[in-house]
Structure 1
Amino acid sequence: MTALRLPILWLAGLLGLAGCSMNQPVSLYQLDSGTPAQPAQSTGMAVLLGPVLIADYLQRETLLQRQPDGSLQAATDGRWAGSLSSDIDQLLLRQVAGHLDSQRVVLAPATQGFTPDVQVLLSITRLDSGKAQPAVLDAQWRLIDRRGKVRENRIVHLQEQHAGTTAAQVQAQGVLLQRLAEQLSVSLKPLANQPSVAAEVPRKAAPAPAKPVEKEKDKIPMALPIRTDMEVFRF
């Protein structure tokens, strides 16, 4: 009986160790939004932030690591705590509102009745890092004024060094997004004092009343004396 129990106990021990290794806790991470100022103006600049588009490879809970050869691998010691896209939206919203000191910064789609001074169309095509690779952010924005005119189109490339740990990488990515929001706010501020659309469109003068069309009257040709060279003789 003892000889039979040893292999069974040994197998159970191996399964237990395997189970422990598979159930190792994984750290969950969120982007650090920093300490943005609390906006005080309820009548500040009206900004519609979005749509904010992010690259397909970022739309997952997996925390990806950039390798020296440029490839991406899933991190084994951590993942995103929820939606990375939502974290990016909220970080940018708080940062831009703080820089502009305005409570009127909203995420797209806007509620009915909200008329923005500027709409920000933002696309983030890269946001990642690696143990030996810096955090990198590639983005592009377009600013649309209240008349629908593109006021600025800018492509941004930012980098941030870090200590190499997963936590340090996530912190560096948050810093990059904070710098993006700061640069975006600098571009937004000059568009705060736009004249209203009604003031820009000159009033058209009322059209002059059309003159009645006079009907051409039938004109009777005047009889003209006929002159001849003939002389009349009377006897």
Structure 2
Amino acid sequence: MIAMRLPSILLVALLGLAGCARYQPVPLYQLDSGDAEVPSAKEGLAVLLGPVSIADYLQREALLQRQEDGSLIASRDARWAGSLAADIDQQLLLQLSSQLNSQRLALAPAAPGFTPQVQILMSIARLDSGPHRPAVLEAQWRLMGKNGELLDGRLVRLEQAHSGTIADQVHAQSTLMRQLVEQVASAVKAHDGEIPAIAERAPKKAPVTTPKKEAPPKIPMAQPVRIDSEVFRF
């Protein structure tokens, strides 16, 4: 009986170990914002960011690894904490707000009532790395004036070395994002004299209403009482 039960117990133990190995939690990563600080004052340049175009292969949670032959393989040991494309949008907003010292930034399409002074069009074609490949960012940005004129623009290809670990790869990609924003922010500051200020609207004055004079109360006039009956005297 004991000899017959041992293989079953051993099989259950092996299956349990295999299950634990299979369902181990996978580390999640986000782009690092560095020392970017959000301005406290609700003022500054009004900037419309976008549309921001992001390559299709970046719009997923899989953390892709660039191989020696240039191919991409999804990592089994890590993934992005949500959509990488959404993370890129938020990093662009945060970094630009910090660099331009402005709270008045919005992602396209902007809400009604928002009047931008400049617009930044962005296209990110590549953002990846690999165990033996550096982090690479390829993008294009254009700075548009209030009336749609092109103020500046550039094609960008940046590289950043790393140690090979996933954590250091994500740190290197984050560094490239900050370098991209620094370029755009520098261009905005360089064209500051060409950016028209938004005319402040004078607050609307409430219409002046003159109080109506109250009419004097109407006093009912006394009417003579007519008596049709005859009065007899004795």
TM range (shorter): 0.7 to 0.9
Closer, same or farther in 2 for the Cα pair 1:195/1:31, shift >3 Å?
Answer: closer
User: 2-side partners of 1:92 and 1:185: how far apart?
Assistant: 11
Q: What is the aligned length?
A: 199
Other-structure match for 1:33: 33
Other-structure match for 1:42: 42
Other-structure match for 1:219: none
Closer, same or farther in 2 for the Cα pair 1:147/1:197, shift >3 Å?
Answer: farther
**Deviation sequence 1:55-97 (CA, Å, 0-9, x none):** 1111111101111111111112111111211211111111111
Amino acid at match of 2:22: M
User: 1-side partners of 2:148 and 2:197: how far apart?
Assistant: 11
Closer, same or farther in 2 for the Cα pair 1:139/1:198, shift >3 Å?
Answer: closer
User: 2-side partners of 1:178 and 1:114: how far apart?
Assistant: 26
Closer, same or farther in 2 for the Cα pair 1:129/1:196, shift >3 Å?
Answer: closer
Tell me the SS of whatever aligns to 2:133.
Answer: coil
User: 2-side partners of 1:39 and 1:142: how far apart?
Assistant: 24
User: 1-side partners of 2:40 and 2:194: how far apart?
Assistant: 21
User: 1-side partners of 2:96 and 2:196: how far apart?
Assistant: 23
Structure 1 residue 9 and structure 2 residue 48: aligned?
Answer: no
Rg larger for: 1
Other-structure match for 2:188: 188
Q: Between 135-144 and 42-51, report the one with greater CA deviation.
A: 42-51
Percentage identity across paired residues of the two chains: 57
Tell me the SS of whatever aligns to 1:76.
Answer: strand
**Deviation sequence 1:191-233 (CA, Å, 0-9, x none):** 334365999xxxxxxxxxxxxxxxxxxxxxxxxxxxxxxxxxx
Q: Do 2:52 and 2:122's aligned partners in 1 also have CA atoms closer than 8 Å?
A: yes
User: 2-side partners of 1:126 and 1:195: how far apart?
Assistant: 30
Other-structure match for 1:114: 114
CA-atom RMSD in angstroms: 1.9
Q: Do 2:52 and 2:123's aligned partners in 1 also have CA atoms closer than 8 Å?
A: yes
Q: Do 1:39 and 1:100's aligned partners in 2 also have CA atoms closer than 8 Å?
A: no
Tell me the SS of whatever aligns to 1:129.
Answer: strand
Closer, same or farther in 2 for the Cα pair 1:81/1:102, shift >3 Å?
Answer: same
Q: Do 1:117 and 1:192's aligned partners in 2 also have CA atoms closer than 8 Å?
A: no
User: 1-side partners of 2:26 and 2:195: how far apart?
Assistant: 53
Other-structure match for 1:141: 141
User: 2-side partners of 1:17 and 1:196: how far apart?
Assistant: 67
User: 2-side partners of 1:198 and 1:31: how far apart?
Assistant: 34
Other-structure match for 2:222: none
User: 2-side partners of 1:100 and 1:147: how far apart?
Assistant: 21
Other-structure match for 1:64: 64
Aligned pairs for 1:49-128 within 5 A: 49-128=49-128
The TM-score, its normalising length taken from structure 1, stands at 0.79
Uncovered stretches (5+) of structure 1, i.e. residues with no partner: 200-235
Uncovered stretches (5+) of structure 2, i.e. residues with no partner: 200-234
The TM-score, its normalising length taken from structure 2, stands at 0.80
Structure 1 residue 156 and structure 2 residue 174: aligned?
Answer: no
Q: Do 2:118 and 2:195's aligned partners in 1 also have CA atoms closer than 8 Å?
A: no
